[in-house]
Amino acid sequence: MKKSSLLSHISTYLHAAYQRYLQTTERSLNRAYEAACLIKAIEDEYFDGEPIPAQHDLYGSSVMNYLHSELNEFLKTVRMSLTEFNVSRSWFSNFSQKTLKLAKNNGVVAVNNTFDIPSKNYANDVLEKLKFIDQIVGKYLEDEVKQPINVPPQLTRIERVSPNKIAQKLPFVKLNKPPESKAEEMSVLPRSILSTLNRLKVELDPKSEDEVVQKFRYSQKRTFVSIRLVLLLVIVPFLTFQLSKHIIVSPIVAQIRNSSQSEIFINYEMEERALEEMHKFEEKLKFEQLLTGTAEVSPLVLEEKIKTKVGEIAQMYRHESTDAIENVFADLCALGAFTWLIIASKREIAILKDFIDQVVYGLSDSAKAFIIILFTDMFVGFHSPHGWEVILSGVSHHLGLPENHGFIFLFIATFPVILDTIFKYWIFRYLNRISPSAVATYRNMNE
């Protein structure tokens, strides 16, 4: 009995170990296959099934950089997964032989019933997945490809790469356009004449109409995606704030803050404002008495009126304190929704960035200068401290915080200066290079 029980434990242990490592092989292959499917999805959605090029007429640099980064991540996943697959397969071969031999030596008879041998369908499925991975990834390692991909010299003669070689030599593909030389940048004819000739060539080309239609469709799609993303970035946090405040946060805070036991004032500033209102009410009663010339009100009646007013003031500030606490938790929910939307919309954000670049840099020089002057005067100009003070006071009141005037003055003294430096650096570093005439117009308007 002891020997049979020992053999049974050995068989069970070997079977479990075999299944565990077999799952590792399948998991690594499936991971590589899924990454290849994602690359294929990008090709089908944006390039009609063609390999991802270095540049494209229908997409801007921001979109292409994002697609290239996604491609590199997927290629990295394929490389690491295939490496794990090959190592585990080679180890499994030795492991299977050793476990079967060990099982036979220990008298385990039902070997085929104990250890699952991969079927023919399983082998065909593995081969099909490897063939698909080779077909998708191999396009970015071949020598004669249509797109100018920078492939290392040791891979320039590879025409068809096996999965083993892909796992060992798969590079991080660099799809950036190689820098042009000075000879290529210079031309014999002026650029205006060359641009006119290129425009005539495009107009006479019979395929130019299709290209114009494709560019219009891309521009239409980019505009739609950008506007939709902007609306979502505004509407989703706002709706999240309202729904979470009135449906989730408000009942919980109302349950915790009992009207008779909770603190009325959550900061000293509220208490000072309440005292100021009470004093104004007393002075108002005395002023009305002197103004109308009526008889002096007895102290008991005056005290009763003051108590009634104090109760109203306390109820008002208790509600304000509760509302401030609810705003804090609702703002956290809205911030979480906004962050989730940013993380989940990386592709749309790249399209929005390209759309903003096209809109901003497509404006006239006077329009650019007008927008720059408007924003700089509003946020870093002479009258901007008053606006920042109002904004910070509103935020403090919204969150139920006391107005720390020292912090407000320090913020006004530092943040606009930093913002002004950023504006000037952007004008000097980017706008002066892209549109020097807009910078000249800005300087003339600013003077």
| pLDDT tens string 137-149 | 887 865 333 333 3
DSSP 144-204: S-SS--B--GGGTT-SS--HHHHHHH----B-SPPPPPHHHH--SS-HHHHHHHHHHHHHH
pLDDT for 331 equals 94
Rounded percentage of the chain residues whose pLDDT exceeds 70: 71
Two structure tokens written together for 419: 């913002």
* pLDDT band at residue 166 under the 50/70/90 scheme: very low
Q: What is the enclosing helix (H) or strand (E) of 362?
A: none
Q: For residue range 46-77, list pLDDT tens digits in order.
A: 787 788 887 776 677 777 777 888 888 888 88
d(CA 159, CA 375): 56
User: What residue type is 406 in one-letter code?
Assistant: G
pLDDT for 118 equals 53
- The residue among 253, 278, 247 whose CA lies nearest residue 266 is 253
Q: What does the pLDDT average to over 371-378?
A: 87
The residue ranking higher by pLDDT, 95 or 88, is: 88
Q: What does the pLDDT average to over 368-374?
A: 87
d(CA 322, CA 265): 9
Q: Position of tokens 């430096």? A: 421
Q: For residue range 294-321, list pLDDT tens digits in order.
A: 767 777 888 888 889 888 998 898 888 8
Quick check: 175 and 71 in contact, CB under 8 A? Answer: yes
Write down the domain spans for the chain. 2-177, 195-345, 363-447
d(CA 249, CA 330): 7
pLDDT for 10 equals 55
* pLDDT band at residue 285 under the 50/70/90 scheme: confident
d(CA 64, CA 71): 10
Q: What does the pLDDT average to over 326-350?
A: 93
Q: For residue range 14-56, list pLDDT tens digits in order.
A: 555 555 555 667 778 888 888 888 888 888 877 877 888 877 7
d(CA 385, CA 378): 9
d(CA 245, CA 331): 9
Task: Compute the half-sphere exposure of residue 364: CA atoms within 13 Å on the CB side of its CA.
Answer: 3
Quick check: 152 and 132 in contact, CB under 8 A? Answer: no
Distances (CA, A) of 191 to 128, 194, 369: 52, 5, 26
Distances (CA, A) of 135 to 34, 90, 130, 189, 261: 14, 23, 8, 45, 71
**At CA 391, angle to CA 386 and CA 397, rounded to 5?**
125
DSSP 30-83: HHHHHHHHHHHHHHHHHHTTSPP-S--TTS-HHHHHHHHHHHHHHHHHHHHHHH
Check whether 390 has a pLDDT greater than 60. yes
Task: Compute the half-sphere exposure of residue 91: CA atoms within 13 Å on the CB side of its CA.
Answer: 13
Q: What does the pLDDT average to over 361-381?
A: 85
Q: For residue range 204-216, list pLDDT tens digits in order.
A: 767 767 777 777 8
The residue ranking higher by pLDDT, 282 or 240, is: 240
Residues in the chain: 447
d(CA 230, CA 227): 5
